[in-house]
Amino acid sequence: MLIIHIGNYLTLMKNTFQIIAITALLSGMGSCGPKWTETEQDGIKTVKNEGGKTLGYSTTSGITILTADRLGFKDLNKNNALDKYEDWRLSADERAKDLASKMSIEQIAGLMLYSRHQSIPAANRGFFAATYNGKGFEESGAAASDLTDQQKEFLSTDNLRHVLLTSIQSPEIAARWNNNAQALVEGLGLGIPANNSSDPRHGTIANAEYNAGAGGRISMWPGSLGLAATFDPQLVEKFGSIGGQEYRALGLTTALSPQVDIATDPRWYRTSGTFGEDPHLAADIGRAYIDGFQTSTGDKEIADGWGYESVNAMVKHWPGGGSGESGRDAHYGVGKYAVYLGNNFDMHLIPFTEGAFKLKGKTGAASAVMPYYTISYNQDTKNKENVGNAYNKYIIQDLLRDKYHYDGVVCTDWSVTGNTTAIDVFITGKSWGVESLSIAERHYKVLMAGVDQFGGNNDMKPVIEAYNLGVKEHGEEFMRARFEQSAVRLLKNIFRTGLFENPYLNVEESKSIVGNPEFMKAGYEAQLKSVVMLKNKANVLPLEKNKTVYIPKKFTPAGRNFIGMETPEKYEYPASLEIIKKYFKVTDNPDKADAALIFVDSPTSGIGYNPEEAKKGGNGYVPISLQYGEYIAKEARETSIAGGDPLEKTTNRSYKNKKNKAINVTDLGMINDTYTKMKGKPVIVSINMNTPMIFSEFEKNANAILVHFGVQDQALLDLMTGANEPSALLPLQMPANMNTVEKQFEDVPHDLECYEDDQGNKYDFAYGLNWKGIISDERTKKYKK
């Protein structure tokens, strides 16, 4: 019996050791077993490592989990071995270099692409049109979160991994679309996730009502000029932190912002996207914005301030785009030249070198930079080239890379390598200065200038052609190294945000984060702090609630917006009557009103070019006016500083003695007509400002003037009725007239003669009123000139 018991015991022990050995083989760590667990929800498997990173992968991607040191790792390239780039214990730099070395030239070429604008779901027609199984969205039967045919093509065939998203139907749809896109790319090649991005998307809906404790589609904040008007970097950093959390919940890991160009020419159409004209204010606000977006803290941090709440900030536009000649913008061929009559090029670099590249937070510097379309005219002191900034080796390699030691991603602005079809059309190529080169040659020149990525290009073919051109000139070893250099920069931005571990979103969490009540409250409070009170004659503000007010309707003529899309004629109330009636009684009869509330936009007069004038034999150039009424440019230059384009016959872009008037000239009539109708009773004018403007046309007919940069109507009403006190300051000078605009230098800030109103107040930079009068505080001491 004893022998039998010993034999059974030995057999049992033998079987046990076999089981342990098998377990050890599977776990890679002996008898202790793995330190990770796995769950599944909605086709996404989640792996939680004890004391380590949480992983996410799709059940459709073919990915499996490797175990090393009892920890779980994604086998992204499906080779049943733990590669360095798959090991989340290593630094982003080490992982990026390992992965770049494994990538084919075709895969790196795809990584260098940044998609054209994508809307979710896609439109049936127009600029953002796409198809689902060959059909438009509405007839396809597709879900709004499905990938389009075009998205599947550029993700799969062209190896594209950077997607620019525009309109999104809802946070839920965005999260599901993100998961679909990530599942597709996770199963391809080396398993590189998509780095999705957005232009600024936290603007306001004017007629939306704010209700304390209620959520919304996304938190709403003042526009960039409004953030600057607070003169409060701490507030802007808070915006960046909240914006970053909302971006991540939408599947966005790169922000194509902030725009830190200093708006030194007051006519520039893109002034509204800047932080104003002062380089030091722009540096401080821009630094805070980037710190907010890029920084993760606590258990959300992976390393060096980067983590799961971090969003890469692509600061723009190097080396500054605010000095376009005569205020014209370089989205159009008519505005391709930035000029520096004041020899002030270096000042435009300050928001980058002292702001975006010198963060207070641990991430150190903005992770990406976008050069502007402009030709920085005669600023290339080394090669003497007048070409678009992305093509200019002096601007990118010598200055940005070598002098200022920037080694992050540099991405072109959108469509710089395309062919130009017209000089006054938005949706066309913008290959300024290199129009004679082939598309492949343009890509090659961009790469040799020190740029890493091509905005608005879904097709890797010209990038491969550029590589082949480089091989012919420099050899394959050189070009392989050049491609890997860019790949490492691009991959680091994906590793640092944790996408390789888990790019997937929990739909319910996304819905609870985006536009939550706390974020909505913070955005609304910022709006209140962004409105500038310019005038308050006889302390007409604040108005008593429940007074009777007259609100004239606003006429907007049919026209085209900045990108050339047709806009319909409108005649309507310019603010929400439903919201206004919660503050005041409203009448259509001025005689019965206690006061008039007028809502207008700053003057807009087009892009500075009239094709009809060109057809009649002129050069086509007309003034960009900052006044509503007709302006004749008697003080304009006889000869432009710069000029010339393959599509025009002249190099002189002067518009001297030509005239123009605002497209919305009827806003002026509305103000002055209302003043007459009110017969001396208070007239309150609220201006949605995109650029500086001429106030002399109507200021004397207004008792109070409020200027804002994109806020909800409700915020204006809370200020008008005294629920909150105005505290913002002008981030821009307001010119006295158009003559001073013509005489100022496009590249120099603070060089206008400022308007003085009938109260003796000058509308200068850092000017603003509160209930007591002109604001004088720590902000004005620091920034006022």
pLDDT digits (tens, 9 = 90+) for 404-440: 999 999 999 999 999 999 999 998 999 999 999 999 9
- Calpha distance 21→1 (Å, rounded): 30
For the CA atoms of 166, 170, 174, 180, the dihedral, rounded to the nearest 10 degrees, stands at: -120
Mean pLDDT over 36-63 rounds to 96
Q: What percent of the chain has pLDDT over 90?
A: 90
- Look-up: residue for tokens 């890997």? 484
pLDDT at residue number 34: 86
Amino acid occupying residue 247 = Y
In this prediction, residue 689 has a pLDDT band, given cuts at 50, 70 and 90, of very high
In this prediction, residue 201 has a pLDDT band, given cuts at 50, 70 and 90, of confident
Residue 82 token pair: 């733990």
In this prediction, residue 6 has a pLDDT band, given cuts at 50, 70 and 90, of very low
Closest CA to 778 of 226, 227, 237, 234: 234
pLDDT at residue number 208: 79
DSSP 607-620: SSB-HHHHHTTS--
pLDDT at 293 over 50: yes
Cα torsion 485, 489, 495, 499: sign: negative
pLDDT at 13 over 60: no
pLDDT at 3 over 50: no
pLDDT at residue number 561: 72
Biggest CA–CA distance in the chain, Å, is 120
Closest CA to 699 of 720, 685, 682, 717: 685
pLDDT at residue number 765: 98
pLDDT at residue number 320: 98
pLDDT at 595 over 80: yes
pLDDT at 19 over 60: no
* Of 204 and 242, more confident: 242
pLDDT at residue number 14: 41
Backbone dihedral angles phi then psi of residue 257, each to the nearest 5 degrees: -170, 165
> What separation in angstroms does the CA of 748 have from each of 116, 197, 638, 711?
34, 33, 21, 29
Could you say which DSSP state residue 403 is in? I
Q: State the number of CA atoms in the 13 A half-sphere of 142 facing the CB.
A: 24
Residue 370 token pair: 């976008």
Residue 80 token pair: 């049943």
- Calpha distance 305→463 (Å, rounded): 33
Residue 166 token pair: 């525009």
pLDDT in tens, 478-533: 999 999 999 999 999 999 999 999 999 999 999 999 999 999 999 999 999 999 99
Could you tell me which residues are beta bridge partners of residue 100?
none
> Which residues, other chains included, contact 615 with Cβ-Cβ below 8 Å and sequence gap of 6+?
none
- Calpha distance 325→313 (Å, rounded): 28
- Look-up: residue for tokens 């009892």? 70
pLDDT at residue number 562: 67
Q: Give the pairing of strands 454-455 and 113-114.
A: parallel
Alpha-carbon Rg for the chain in angstroms: 29
- Look-up: residue for tokens 């879900």? 143
pLDDT at residue number 605: 95
Do 555 and 628 touch, CB atoms closer than 8 A? no
**Cα 157 to the chain's mean position, in Å?**
28
